[in-house]
Every structure is written in C-alpha cells, then in structure tokens.
C-alpha cells in the first residue's frame, strides 16, 4: 500500500523568500504520479503541480517547482518569492498508474509573514 | 465552466438522520470520487466511481453509500448519521489517465 508522509506540521517564511515543503512517499510500484494541492482558509482544494515517476525533469509551474528525488522517494515543493496569499495548508498526494484515487499526506500549514 | 459543484455547503444533522450529498461535474470526466477531511488529517477516500454504472470502496466506506446517477453526477448518502461522520466532504473528478484531480468546494457536515 502506498503512503505519503509530510513531517512539517507548520512552517513560517518571510514574504519574498523561498520555502521548501517536504514530502516523502512509499510505494513499490514503479509507475506513479505525485501531486501538490493548496488549501486556503476558504477550504477549497487547488491543484498546484504534478510530477510523473518517469519524468526526467523536475516539474515547474510559475513560482512552484517540485524537487523530485526518486531514489530518496521525496517530492518536495519549492515556492519561490513567497507572497502573503501563499499562506495555506499544502498537501502532497500520490496516485499509482492504473488507479485513479489519490492518497494524501497530513499536510503542512504555511504562514507567510510580512 | 463550473467545474465540480457540491450541495449543500453546510449541513447539521442529528444522530440517526439520513441525508444525501450531491455532486456534479461538467468536465466530461469519467472518474469521480468522494473524500472526507478530518481535522489535522489529509483527505481520505470514501468511494470512487471509475465510470458510469460502477462504484468501488475506498479507505473509509463504512456508513456510506453512493450512486453514480450518470456521467455527470455522483451522490453520497448517509443512511443513519453518527457523530463520527462529522467532517468536511469533498467530491472530485478526473479523466481516467489525467494528471489532475479537480475538487468541489466541499460540504461541512456536523452530526450532533
């Protein structure tokens, strides 16, 4: 069975600085996808970024990048130039290829300070 | 383009009451899901439907039933609500091999 671990319950970062949110995963399947979602205080789940297990390059989406280290089974989210609006819960998730449902970690609460 | 919609947004039930959470998507996705989110935890899968007419249990299916009415709609029913079912419920959808799963705004359910 697959498992996602997020070891940072809460993080603080100064506005305009970069921050890394940690995510490790456990699966014996060779084919899978890794996802990051943002959940602001309003409650909705917002898709941020995706990384496939066979992708050669790290995924990037604007200020978000995913630091994918396959051998270490880690998929850390890097947010560059943090903004006050980045304050939210962030969830790492995984989906095995051939299965449709996501498995989520417990989340990291990020607070951006002015 | 509404994406994934859910009704109601808030609901308070008494123990033993029943209710149905409604979900619809307009993205022509084959797969739909129901998740629950409890405080301090990530989302956990209750049920999912890979296509119209099929449903499968997820991680926490006990106390729930689902219906995939058509390709657009996927409902979640609580037959006899219990306080342990107090949670935020999210409906989601994806294409079969898609990279993203899209979520609805959630339903905050309290069972007294």
CB contacts under 8 A, A 13-72 vs B, are 33, 35, 37, 43-45, 47, 50, 52
Q: Per the CB < 8 Å rule, is B41 touching A50?
A: no
For chain B, the maximum distance between any two Cα atoms, rounded to a whole number of angstroms, is 40
Of B44, B50, B108, the CB nearest to A100: B50
Q: Strand B74-78 to strand B19-25: parallel, antiparallel, or no bridges (unpaired)?
A: antiparallel
Taking only the tens place, the pLDDT of each residue in B8-33 is 999 999 999 999 999 999 999 999 99
Taking only the tens place, the pLDDT of each residue in B50-107 is 888 899 999 999 999 999 989 999 999 999 999 999 999 999 998 866 678 899 999 9
Main-chain phi, psi angles of B24, to 5 degrees: -140, 145
pLDDT of residue A85: 97
Å between A2 CA and nearest CA of chain B: 12
Å between B30 CA and nearest CA of chain A: 10
Cβ-based burial of A52 (10 A; exposed 0-12, middle 13-18, buried ≥19):
middle
Q: Per the CB < 8 Å rule, is A102 touching B58?
A: no
């Amino acid at each position: 069975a697959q498992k996602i671990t997020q070891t940072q319950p809460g993080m603080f970062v100064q506005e305009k600085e970069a921050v890394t949110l940690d995510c490790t995963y456990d699966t014996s399947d060779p084919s899978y996808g890794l996802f990051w979602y943002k959940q602001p205080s309003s409650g909705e789940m917002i898709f941020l970024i995706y990384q496939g297990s066979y992708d050669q390059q790290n995924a990037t989406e604007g200020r978000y990048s995913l630091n994918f280290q396959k051998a270490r089974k880690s998929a850390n989210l890097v947010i560059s130039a943090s903004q006050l609006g980045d304050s939210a819960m962030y969830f790492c998730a995984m989906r095995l290829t051939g299965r449709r449902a996501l498995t989520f970690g417990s989340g990291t609460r990020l607070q951006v300070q002015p | 383009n509404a994406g994934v919609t859910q009704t109601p947004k808030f609901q308070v039930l008494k123990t033993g009451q029943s209710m149905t959470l409604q979900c619809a998507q307009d993205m022509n996705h084959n797969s739909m899901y129901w998740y629950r989110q409890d405080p301090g935890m990530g989302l956990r899968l209750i049920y999912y439907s890979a296509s119209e007419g099929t449903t499968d249990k997820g991680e926490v299916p006990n106390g729930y039933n689902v219906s995939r009415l058509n390709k657009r709609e996927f409902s979640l029913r609580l037959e006899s609500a219990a306080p342990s079912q107090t949670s935020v419920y999210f409906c989601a959808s994806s294409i079969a091999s898609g990279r993203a799963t899209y979520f609805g705004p959630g339903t905050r359910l309290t069972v007294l």
